[in-house]
A and B are shown apart, each in its own frame.
Chain A
Amino acid sequence: MPNTPDLECRAISKSFDDFKAVKDVSFSVPQGTFFSILGPSGCGKTTLLRMIAGFQKPTGGDLLIKGNSVLEVPPNKRPVSMVFQHLALFPMMNIGANVGFGLRQRGVNKTDIKKQVERVLERVGLGGVADRPVSSLSGGQKQRVAIARCMVLEPDVLLLDEPLGALDLKLREHMKIELKQLQSEFNTTFVYITHDQSEALVMSDQIAVMNHGVFEQVGTAKELYYEPATAFVAGFVGEANRLRATFKSAEGGLLQMVTPEGRALGGVDAGQGLSPGETVEVFVRPEAVRLSRNAADVAQMGNTGQGRVENILFNGANSQLILRDQATGAEMNMALPQTGEFRDLERGAEIAFGWDPQQTRVYRSKGNAHGK
């Protein structure tokens, strides 16, 4: 079968005593995909990854690699390799011995190992370092050695357990791009787990958002950002303002809602089939909100309001404005355009804002607030 996915999980689950860490998760990853599992800490993503690697045994479900079940295959026989969170390079060996470790276990002869190690190190841009100790490398170089150590074995699937977590911000930004390039160069299936949404959004072809042991949504970065399927995804991926309201009626695809303070809001149903009278959560992205000193400018936008500037978080192009909505008393977070128009805006100033109901997504309220 040419279309067999590299990795397939069928209703896989894992329980520790009473606690269900992973609940009936099913997904498949086609060959050559950069697949990310994004979730807050404790959501079960590490458990899932360790089950794929073979360090933990699922309590239910099946796990297939290239169409063959690997449940009974021990980790040292599985065609998957893993890049560990702290890389786990062997400090007692030099770089060449680290990269050649897997080949030595397979009984490849010495001259072939040497050749293959040098070739893979060149591919990650580290030619000629084989004889140096691991400690002589910088953080980013260690990262590449860890990937080379796995890739030299030509695994069907490469697992990455938050490998960028230990790096500083600048290097992390750089490594995101590099990892993506390495993935397309090797054309290997990557399964990457992270709690950092920007890592997942930048690098992945497909992202699964995980929470409380289940996949909330699987999709491309754009789908997750613009069409989050659940309130959790809307809150976890990207920034969002969350408002509580009651669903009144639906008119021409738009939902009409009213906040407890009596403000009317318009929005679109995120596909949950809401019925009138339900309590809902309304999400709007900070960058979807338009600001104006003149209330008339935003009057035709559907959802409008008036607020007082509580705080200005200046961060260049990512500057934010925190407003106290006068009608609801709610705190709203919005992007502050750096076009110069609001350069002299000060704390305590009054400002009008508005946003399009089409950019407002409405979810059934679960009663408990989670996510960011």
Chain B
Amino acid sequence: MANDRAKLTFWLLLAPLMIWLLTLIVLPHLGMFLVSLREKVGVREYETSFANYAVFFNEPLYWNTFARTAYMSVTATALTLFIGFPIAYYIAKLTRGRTKTTLFLMCLIPFWVSELVRTFGWMILLRETGVISNVLQYLGLVGGPVEMLYNDAAIMTGLVYTSMLFMVVPLVTTLDSLDDSLIEAGYDLGASGFAILREIVIPHAMPGIVSGCIVVFMLSLGNYLTPILLGGKDSLWFTGLIYNQFITRFNWELGSAFGFLLLGLSSLIVFVGLKLSRQSLGKTMAQT
């Protein structure tokens, strides 16, 4: 009797999560998968085939964009880690009390405005008639206006800026849990600062590094606004292609196929990353 009630409570508590997963994630993906397998053979005539996937592999523009998106996202993730790690280390280990809270808040503040507004902020800085261009001209460092938008560096800047918080937060959490006496013990046993970083700090922070990287990578790969706005027409971001198929060309079949390819790609890269860092997804997510 009591056992039955406990079971009922359990299922009731689980129900919102299950409904959310089923209706918002599983069902739409299932639908999309079915759409991606439809080949249009005539007006309102469809056949089940892998033709949409074949289109992707036969058109170099598509898979070049695909590879480029993956490569740029991996680079953005690595850059975010290199910039974020010292910041996180400083916040977690070298500051206390109020300073710590203030610094943490400063990482958070940019997220109080929408991503669109933040990206426009970068456009104001980087465009030909923008702040940086004007300052350089005023200082006499350049002869004429400089266009700093619509290139890969601008996209990269935007991606790193957008995802910094998602790297810093898990890193601060794991570094916070590193006992200071371990670092002191390392010094005491004759280690240099670099050896301590390599042998003690990074192995300890590994779950945080991996979970931060997964989140940042997913965000970059699936980002639409930043690459389109900062990279312009030629940004060649895969999400842009998907958008085009769905909205501009009404080719839902191909768009769905692209969506599934992107899902496969992100899963594959995360899997490889976990294997290389010898972490498991469960462990990584549980620790942060």
Contact = CB atoms under 8 A, between A and B. Distances in A.
A76 B181 contact: no
Given A105-B192, A106-B190, A88 B185 contact: yes
Interface string A195-230: 000000000000000000000000000000000000
B189 A102 contact: yes
B179 A86 contact: yes
B195 interface: yes
B182 interface: yes
Interface in B166-205: 179, 181-182, 184-192, 195, 199-200, 203-204
A84 B191 contact: no
Contact of A84 (B181, B199, B204): B181
A153 interface: yes
Contacts of A150: 189
A53 B184 CA distance: 10
Interface in A60-98: 74-77, 80-82, 84-86, 88, 90-93
Nearest to A77: B190
Interface in B119-176: none
Contacts of A102: 189-191
Interface in A99-124: 101-102, 105-106
Nearest to B188: A82
Contacts of A85: 181
Contacts of A74: 187
B184 A76 contact: no
Interface string A256-282: 000000000000000000000000000
A27 interface: no
Contacts of B199: 90, 92-93, 101
A96 B190 CA distance: 17
B106 to A, nearest CB: 28
A175 to B, nearest CB: 19
A81 B203 contact: no
Contact of A76 (B182, B190, B200): B190
B181 A75 contact: no
B91 to A, nearest CB: 22
A55 interface: yes
A150 B191 CA distance: 13
A364 interface: no
Given A90-B200, A92-B204, A101 B186 contact: yes
Contact of A101 (B189, B192, B204): B189
A106 B199 CA distance: 14
A153 B189 contact: yes
A77 B189 CA distance: 9
A337 B168 CA distance: 65
A105 B195 contact: yes
Contacts of A84: 181, 184-185
Nearest to B205: A92
Nearest to B180: A88
A88 B187 contact: no
A54 B190 CA distance: 12
Interface in A333-366: none
A230 B179 CA distance: 39
A149 interface: yes
Contacts of B182: 88, 90
B188 A76 contact: yes
Given A92-B200, A92-B204, A105-B192, A76 B179 contact: no
Contacts of B192: 76, 105
B191 A105 contact: yes
Contact of B189 (A54, A55, A149): A149
A231 B148 CA distance: 77
Interface of A: 53-55, 74-77, 80-82, 84-86, 88, 90-93, 101-102, 105-106, 149-150, 153
Given A76-B187, A90-B182, A92-B199, 18 more contacts: A54-B188, A75-B188, A76-B190, A77-B190, A82-B185, A82-B188, A84-B184, A85-B181, A86-B179, A86-B181, A88-B179, A90-B185, A90-B200, A91-B204, A92-B203, A101-B191, A149-B189, A150-B189
Q: What are the 8 closest A-B residue pairs judged by CB atoms, nearest first?
A: A102-B189, A92-B203, A88-B185, A88-B181, A105-B190, A76-B187, A75-B187, A105-B191
27 contacts: A53-B188, A54-B187, A55-B184, A75-B184, A75-B188, A76-B188, A76-B189, A76-B192, A77-B190, A80-B188, A81-B188, A84-B184, A84-B185, A88-B179, A88-B184, A88-B185, A90-B199, A91-B204, A92-B203, A93-B199, A93-B203, A101-B191, A102-B191, A105-B189, A105-B190, A105-B191, A150-B189
